[in-house]
Amino acid sequence: MNKKVLVIMDPIESINIEKDTTYQLMLSAQNIGHELYYLMPGTLAIRSLEPVGMAARIKITKDKIPFYNLSDKSDFILSDFDYILMRQDPPVDNNYIYKTYILDLIKNYESKVINTGHSLRNYNEKLIILNFPEHIPDTIVTSDKKNLENFKKNHKKIILKPLNLMGGRSIYFIENIDKNLNVIFEDMTNLGKNYIIAQEYLEDVNKGDKRIIVINGKVIKESVIRVSNNEDHRSNIASGGSIEKHILNKEEIKICENVAKFLKAKNIFFAGIDMIGNKITEINITSPTCLAEINKFHNKDIGKFFWEQLK
């Protein structure tokens, strides 16, 4: 049965269709007959206690420029849609959080939000890994300089990350005696006012950082591994890393299935697990990526599987 799908995302004209996961999901939805709608940026609101927004019918025109066509722009009540795909990229700032509250006000329980406003708001993708202490590198969350200095003293090499960004932005690798540590700490924490996460540096990162997709509690064994270049410690594609084909081994599957069980229990339908060696470093739930690369390397259509799991 065909469904009405509303996509909430960053401005569509800004995406790279060769790599963009939202594009892959939209293309798969269109191919199986779903009606696609694009929420015009900045129009999500509450009116008469109902979440509303201006949306247009969107048709993906593959291999053409532009790659999409918008028509029949109109005001909609979000509960008119069967599926609402929340694909806005971080930062998870105040406005992002407010949008999750708006999505939680949808009154039609037949309308499925992916991922739900509640899950996006309550499970920070840097902190969610703390639910799996046996599967993560040594980690601290702090806004205190002394805690960070002691952690650095214990591990020598550490990674510092903000809690609300993505794509490798503002991630620092600290080793030996780094004279910039004070400056980095002050900048990342806003002089000790904001929390950051610090993790021990994993030498296995030289072999790459795996991205594993989880859909509806099911682990996709076909994955990819991202490898940093010689000029940057970050393996994210957005930071200049390269990408290779990877198939999960039995141990990796077992670890990820443990995570997937947790995600399903928390109503997190779509997630991307990041692993270095056998350690989980992040679980992306705001806007998981790499579907295009996995589809290409493994000759898959994970987007089709995504929509089939919603039946």
Give the Cα separation of 266 and 118 in Å (integer).
9
Active site residue 234: yes
Candidate list 99, 161, 210, 279, residue with the active-site label: 161
Q: What are phi and psi of 27, to 5 degrees?
A: -60, -45
Q: What are phi and psi of 72, to 5 degrees?
A: 55, 50
Candidate list 87, 99, 126, 152, residue with the active-site label: 126
Of the candidates 124, 116, 19, the residue with the CA atom closest to the CA atom of residue 67: 19
Candidate list 99, 282, 293, 295, residue with the active-site label: 282
Active site residue 126: yes
Active site residue 203: no
Candidate list 210, 226, 236, 295, residue with the active-site label: 226
Active site residue 274: yes
Candidate list 211, 236, 252, 279, residue with the active-site label: 211
Of the candidates 181, 215, 210, 188, the residue with the CA atom closest to the CA atom of residue 309: 215
Buried b (16+ CB within 10 A) or exposed e, 221-254: bbbbbbebeeeebbbbbebebebeebebeeebee
Candidate list 82, 125, 274, 293, residue with the active-site label: 274
Helix axes 181-189, 145-155, angle to 10 degrees: 130
Active site residue 226: yes
Candidate list 209, 284, 293, 295, residue with the active-site label: 284
Helix, strand counts (H, E) of the chain = 8, 17
Query: Who contacts 235 (Cβ-Cβ below 8 Å, separation ≥6)?
Result: 168, 205, 208, 209, 226, 227, 228, 241
Structure tokens given for 26 = 């939209």
Active site residue 72: no
Active site residue 169: no
Active site residue 87: no
Please, what's the largest Cα pairwise distance for the chain? 61
* 3-class secondary structure, 158: strand
Which residues is 270 bridged to in the sheet? 215
Candidate list 234, 236, 293, 295, residue with the active-site label: 234
CA-atom Rg of the chain in angstroms: 20
Catalytic residue ranges? 126, 161, 211, 226, 234, 274, 282, 284
